[in-house]
């Protein structure tokens, strides 16, 4: 419990900064930018028509951005990017703290098993991920309530919108597991923010592969597409196969990280 509380306290400043950024971007996109897009449809449509197809695919820009659901689809990629960087950073920071402070020897002489220490750190990371997701869901619900007179918003049930927003939980857990595994495998972590940003940007860039190539098979290597926001908004569900893939990858990464954490000597960690 002491390790769990310590990690929560240590991550508090970064957590608040990340959540404020996430909520701020959600407000700017959904509450600020969406009405502008909706009310300037002709001008925006002309601009979209001038985009190269590859550019439009990369940034998720299409003719559907003039509806509330379509604009959420477009915005969701950026929400995922922020959460991926945040969660990966938490995994790197929580599981790589002792490496960066050169205190691994001290940690492992504590009267607790390594698996127990690992579990406490993982619980702290999951708590941060869940808390960020809950705050985001609350923000989306409040913004949705402000568009009660907008038929393109109210045509989407709040339950489906919140289900689509739940994709951030999946992305958060997935990238937390990437950060945890990376932290225990690397002998030295020079920059938590740099590595976390690289993971997040790579995930963001891979989204464009299925769109640009027209090949569905590329979704297998594009984690952001495993949680299909369009499927949640249109049908009220996620694709079981890809959701299962995400769960399997997260479990595999976390199990691998636990195995390395439990067996490596202090010098190796």
Cα-to-chain-centroid distance, residue 76: 10
Q: 188 or 210, which is more confident? A: 188
Predicted confidence (pLDDT) per residue in 107-121, tens digit: 555 556 788 889 999
Task: Give domain limits for the chain.
Answer: 2-263
* The predicted structure's pLDDT at residue 36: 82
Average pLDDT over residues 121-126: 95
* The predicted structure's pLDDT at residue 127: 96
Mean pLDDT, all residues of the chain: 84
How far apart CA 99 and CA 260 sit, in angstroms, is 14
Average pLDDT over residues 35-42: 76
Check whether 59 has a pLDDT greater than 80: no
Please answer whether residues 121 and 95 qualify as being in contact, where contact means their C-beta atoms are separated by less than 8 angstroms: yes
What are the phi and psi torsion angles at 189 (to 5°)?
Answer: -110, 105
Average pLDDT over residues 60-84: 82
* The predicted structure's pLDDT at residue 108: 56
- End-to-end Cα distance, the chain: 22
How far apart CA 135 and CA 82 sit, in angstroms, is 14
Q: Find the Cα–Cα–Cα–Cα dihedral 174, 178, 183, 184, rounded to 10°.
A: 90
Average pLDDT over residues 10-16: 92
């Amino acid at each position: 419990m002491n390790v769990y509380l310590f990690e929560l306290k240590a991550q508090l400043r970064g957590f608040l900064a990340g959540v404020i950024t996430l909520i701020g971007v959600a407000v700017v996109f959904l509450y600020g930018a969406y009405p502008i897009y909706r009310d300037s449809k002709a001008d925006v449509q002309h601009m979209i028509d001038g985009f190269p197809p590859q550019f439009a695919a990369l940034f998720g820009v299409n003719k559907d951005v003039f509806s509330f659901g379509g604009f959420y689809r477009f915005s969701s990629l950026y929400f995922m990017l922020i959460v991926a960087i945040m969660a990966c950073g938490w995994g790197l920071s929580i599981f790589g703290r002792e490496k960066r402070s050169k205190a691994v020897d001290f940690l492992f002489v504590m009267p607790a098993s390594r698996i127990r220490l690992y579990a406490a750190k993982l619980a702290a990371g999951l708590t941060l991920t869940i808390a960020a997701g809950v705050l985001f869901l609350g923000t989306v619900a409040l913004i949705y309530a402000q568009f009660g007179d907008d038929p393109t918003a109210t045509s989407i049930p709040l339950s489906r919108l919140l289900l689509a927003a739940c994709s951030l939980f999946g992305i958060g857990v997935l990238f937390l597991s990437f950060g945890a595994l990376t932290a225990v495998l690397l002998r030295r972590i020079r920059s938590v923010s740099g590595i976390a940003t690289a993971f997040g940007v790579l995930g963001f860039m891979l989204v464009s592969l299925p769109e640009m190539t027209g090949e569905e098979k590329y979704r297998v290597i594009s984690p952001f597409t495993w949680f299909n926001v369009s499927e949640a908004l249109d049908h009220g569900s996620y694709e079981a196969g890809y959701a299962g893939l995400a769960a399997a990858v997260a479990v595999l990464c976390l199990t691998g990280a636990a195995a390395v954490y439990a067996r490596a000597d202090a010098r190796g960690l």
